A and B are shown apart, each in its own frame.
Chain A
Amino acid sequence: MSEFTLPTWIESYRDLVTGKANKAQVSELARKLGLPVLGLLAFLFVWHVAAASIDTSLGKFPGPVDTWAQAQNLYAEHKVEREKADAFDERQRKRIEERLAVDPDYEVKWRDYTGSPTYLDQIYTSLYTVLAGFLLASVFAIPLGIIIGLSSSVYAAINPLIQVLKPVSPLAWLPLVTMVVSAVYTTDDPMFAKSFVNSMITVSLCSLWPTLLNTAVGVTSVSQDLNNVSRVLRLGWLAHIFKIVLPSALPMIFTGLRLSLGIAWMVLIAAEMLAQNPGLGKFVWDEFQNGSSQSLGRIMVAVITIGIIGFLLDRAMLGLQRWLVWDKQAVQR
């Protein structure tokens, strides 16, 4: 009984394993799996050869082997650090229990372990900083884009401003953001670290523009026929926006969001380097300042991590777009 059907791409693997694959299936697999693997191997080879011939003041440029060793190193350090933290918590718990047994009135004070952040902690910090910045940008950019797109006069008034602000580098914003944040964000018990706020705002300022522009263009290109439908139905302006304009513009909005997230991730690394937000950017900077024989290998690990995470973020956004947007043709690869 074959009521349960496999996805077609798995089927071709199954046919390959069972030796039933036809020519078309084999060549399809070769294209989809074989060629990328071949490309990767070629790259690793070129990297290996080129790295061996580059000498720096910190020793040889790290090749694939050194980089892999450093990746394992970083993971090992992470595990050691976690064990230390667990051991610290365990000791603390015991001490409190013993103390409570002797003195029931003892007011419990829990102290968190204060080790240095590991590589995985830094990835986590980078991820939530970029997402916070991206969300902040989207919260402003989408409504603003709708307002701009609805009126051709507003669009004409604001467009030059956007065109000038759009290409500004994060490095130019950062000092200004830092000064403004330290002047405005003053509490004794800050919920967020200033370095985090600085990085987040810089990311927002730089990643705002694609979403803003694409939303505005999406809104201006709502079909005239649909606008007429809305007029004949006498939809109120709010209903008009939510029932006609927003769904029409959604494919374009998502295109903008995807571009924005890409920019946000690129900007983040630079922002973290300068703002000293404890994420991947700071990791790279610290390793650079550290200058040990391992540093370049560790930076190389960070470079690869940044690339892979950027790729995964883009894929996640694409998945979200495929899921939410009605116009499947507008979703490119």
Chain B
Amino acid sequence: MKSILELTKVGIVFDTPKGGFEALKDVDLKISDGEFISLIGHSGCGKSTVLNIVAGLLQATTGGAILEGKEVNEPGPERAVVFQNHSLLPWLSAYENVELAVRQVFKGSKTRAEMREWVEHNLNLVHMAHAMDKRPEEISGGMKQRVGIARALAMEPKVLLMDEPFGALDALTRAHLQDSVMEIHAELKNTVIMITHDVDEAVLLSDRIVMMTNGPSATIGEVLDVDLPRPRDRLALADDAGFNRCRQRVLQFLYDKQRKVQPMPAKSGKGQAASGQAVEKADSEALRQA
């Protein structure tokens, strides 16, 4: 399969009051059309920064991302983002939230009736058609995230970017949503980049798992091909040898090779964890300025 998205020598340096802080260095990645990629790593390793560079919300200092032969340098609906905390407009209903995106993306190319149908189609896809007139405050966290996914899918993105989409949800809801995402991916065959902390989630959903080293100057440590047949069933995979081998590989990377030194509260053992926080801080600061 030809690659749709290419990251070449991506590096980013944030300006901080204490001087430049290199969060990412030499990130190289080629993603094929229809591939489901997970980015996994300890918090603060710069996973979100990679995603934000692909989204265009942050600008790489060196290198860059090329989507279908065009360099990415601003955000756009062809790289729709599902944000961690749903980011729905609280004053609009589920339907109106999706409609806002559809109107913006398809004005001029779809009639009103087609838009309506398309909004409803996408809400159906995430099983939210029954609650489309509800406001975000009236539905559960999982349902909000479903609407967030519907909004992103409705933009017909070339690449769907998901920033820890299920991070704030309880385990059961998360499992439901993972199943939904697998279902949708099987149906639409879209290209997805997902950030996660959850090893099982990464193995269950992905075609490839990209494991990142700890920052500063984080980069890709290992890439694991998950060649488990689809459709995947979480129950059947629970004691599947292939599934467990993949799991083992990722766990080994995270807890053995890239072991994160947790600072003891009283001691001055700052080390890597502290610099990890610095990445996150610099990251959010850069986003605010952007």
Contact = CB atoms under 8 A, between A and B. Distances in A.
A247 B89 contact: yes
Q: For the complex, would chain B's binding face be called helix, strand, loop or mixed by DSSP majority? A: loop
Given A233-B77, A247-B89, A326-B91, A228 B83 contact: yes
Nearest to A225: B87
Contacts of A247: 89, 91
Interface in B60-91: 74-77, 79-81, 83, 85, 87, 89-91
A224 interface: yes
Interface in B252-290: 284, 287-288
Interface residues of B, number: 25
A244 interface: yes
A229 interface: yes
A327 B57 CA distance: 28
B185 interface: no
Contact of A231 (B57, B85, B100): B57
Given A233-B77, A234-B76, A326-B135, A228 B104 contact: no
Contacts of A31: none
Interface centre among A223, A228, A250, by most chain B C-beta atoms within 10 angstroms, is: A228
B57 A228 contact: yes
A243 B83 CA distance: 19
Interface in A134-176: none
26 contacts: A224-B284, A224-B287, A225-B85, A225-B87, A226-B89, A228-B57, A228-B75, A229-B87, A231-B56, A231-B57, A232-B57, A232-B75, A232-B77, A232-B79, A233-B77, A233-B104, A233-B155, A234-B74, A234-B77, A235-B104, A239-B104, A244-B89, A250-B91, A326-B91, A327-B90, A327-B91
B105 to A, nearest CB: 7
Contacts of A234: 74-77, 104
Which 10 residue pairs spanning A and B have beta carbons closest together?
A326-B91, A225-B87, A231-B75, A232-B75, A247-B91, A233-B104, A229-B87, A232-B81, A225-B83, A234-B76
A223 B87 CA distance: 9
Q: For the complex, would chain A's binding face be called helix, strand, loop or mixed by DSSP majority? A: helix
B225 to A, nearest CB: 30
Interface string B115-137: 00000000000000000000100
A131 to B, nearest CB: 27
Given A225-B83, A231-B57, 15 more contacts: A223-B87, A224-B284, A225-B85, A226-B89, A228-B57, A228-B81, A228-B83, A232-B81, A233-B100, A234-B76, A234-B104, A243-B89, A243-B100, A250-B91, A327-B91
